[in-house]
Structure 1
């Protein structure tokens, strides 16, 4: 495999608004080969069965999704996101997460993938620690459990740019090295890399002071440090320039404790090369593909207010937008597809 194009299921429309079968139909129509299954899609299907959101209905939903994907020759590349796990202070909450994980092990086997994606913790509801030893210990635990599965389950750790403790690729890579398990790697996302080191949606200029210099230095270090075999897949997205900048009175803000980068991410992402985007997506993508030498799945992940729009045509619009974006990206990167 050189490069294969995937799309996250939520990039095609919100689960509570848009039917998964229609979203997958549009993915096939516009030439995607794989899909990241967003747990919300599975959850909505499970809740539609008699008895509601039970473990058995989750497994039934996974079987249904697998059938949908097989009929369309779509590969499920990952199930995500396994949220708010590492560093939890409450032992009972930790236990419940591990209990949930054992269900996810069954889900990924049914879906035909071996990857569970874990975003770095940013919970507003459950207290969690930034102690690195605690974070590593918790992630070692899931990796070791995954090693006992047949086939082995891999974990793709991703830094959220607004997470209080693990927010940059540097943070993620340090954790990956400390966990030191053959089934524990990472996801690298152009949006989160740019949002952390280059962009600032709360600034009138939209970016940090010395943004270009800091990004160049960060990417140079990334190319030297990261073992590309630990990059399980990459995600590509741009985002809107915020005018006005995101502050407490911005209409997208739903809670005062939500970081601007999170508010921005949930509402204002774009596919690469779309009008209104301004992040250095091409520069970061070049570093990932040519600098690191990454080959494999490239997934388009979009969170935006547009995915909540009503209408069966919405998934098709997003699938087409993503495909147009990919064509421009592949040409710019001179990818041998």
Structure 2
């Protein structure tokens, strides 16, 4: 029987180029986490360190994954997925598409070493001139990875995640429609409370931090979850909040980056764990989590994901502080939702 288990993403514990992977996973395990999402940057950074190279090759990466697996086994952490397999679907340049298919086979080998069966694919956020919104192309691309995954023993699963700043697939509804059309047992969704609420309810560039009709639109979206989603295709969920931007995230704001959507800059700099109101958390993410868990019936790993400017703090205390903040958010979620 599935039960709820707390997980955290390795990058949530600190930047790969700043904080050691071994310390991060030790702090995660010590805090009480049972699972971890491996962020590819951590794997790549470990390979660079082990081989003193700026450009690790496939063998370097595979060896780094074996080293990671030993560390993870020693602290008792289960890898729930490897992410993010970036900029994949809808590429107009089909040569780049083929390069990513070759890369995918390396990622599959990495997942096997790490002891997981799940690769996460975020919605593509390359500029519109580089990718298409043609659903047939996107679906065919996703069927290709799913069919490659089905050839593995055991099969590799792909968790598709809409990002609230993705160029086209920017809502859970759009990602779910792709999953429905792909129609493969190993192709499902990763649902993130930040990306759900951050698109339909929140707007970091707005003076009040909200979209027009925010509450009504979110309520309608959550009702659609209950009627449209197939629980078997919800591979795992992430729960996370974010700071309200005051002043709004517009040109001149410290987080503004020319050419990047405001929601992207917001996501990278100002997420918080759930219930961190003292840090500015304000999204209605508990309502999203409650819908997924109590009303839809999700059970399994719940990942306390975080991206934040605090991850780049060079202090050696960052992994411990983030692990403790993350498990405190989990414990409050357990209490608030009366989880088993």
* TM-score, structure 1 normalization: 0.98
How far apart are the structure 2 equivalents of 1:101 and 1:107? 10
2:334 paired with 1:333: no
How far apart are the structure 2 equivalents of 1:40 and 1:270? 21
Aligned to 2:12: 11
Work out which of the residue numbers 262, 265, 272 in structure 1 matches 2:264.
262
Aligned residue for 1:272, secondary structure, equals: coil
Work out which of the residue numbers 290, 294, 298 in structure 1 matches 2:298.
294
In structure 2, the CA distance between the partners of 1:125 and 1:306, relative to structure 1 (3 Å rule), is farther
Retained in 2: the 8 A contact 1:88–1:126? no
Pairwise CA distance, 1:49 = 3.1
Aligned residue for 1:101, secondary structure, equals: helix
Work out which of the residue numbers 61, 64, 70 in structure 1 matches 2:64.
61
Retained in 2: the 8 A contact 1:13–1:23? yes
Pairwise CA distance, 1:48 = 1.9
2:100 paired with 1:111: no
How far apart are the structure 1 equivalents of 2:198 and 2:296? 20
2:164 paired with 1:164: no
Q: Deviations over 1:4-49 (max 9, x none)?
A: 0000000100000000000001001110000000000000011123
Aligned to 1:188: 191
How far apart are the structure 1 equivalents of 2:165 and 2:24? 29
How far apart are the structure 2 equivalents of 1:272 and 1:217? 22
How far apart are the structure 2 equivalents of 1:148 and 1:292? 30
How far apart are the structure 1 equivalents of 2:266 and 2:290? 24
Aligned to 2:217: 214
Aligned to 1:273: 275
Aligned to 1:97: 100
Aligned residue for 1:49, secondary structure, equals: helix
Aligned ranges for residues 111-260 of structure 1 at < 5 Å?
111-124=114-127, 127-254=130-257, 256-260=258-262
How far apart are the structure 2 equivalents of 1:44 and 1:253? 27
Retained in 1: the 8 A contact 2:161–2:189? yes
* TM-score, structure 2 normalization: 0.97
Alignment root-mean-square deviation, CA: 1.1
Retained in 2: the 8 A contact 1:66–1:111? yes
Pairwise CA distance, 1:78 = 0.1
How far apart are the structure 2 equivalents of 1:35 and 1:222? 26
How far apart are the structure 2 equivalents of 1:163 and 1:125? 10
How far apart are the structure 1 equivalents of 2:158 and 2:94? 22
Unpaired segments ≥5 residues, structure 2: none
Unpaired segments ≥5 residues, structure 1: none
Pairwise CA distance, 1:253 = 1.7
Retained in 1: the 8 A contact 2:128–2:167? no
Pairwise CA distance, 1:125 = 9.8
Retained in 1: the 8 A contact 2:190–2:236? yes
Aligned ranges for residues 13-52 of structure 1 at < 5 Å?
13-50=14-51, 52=55
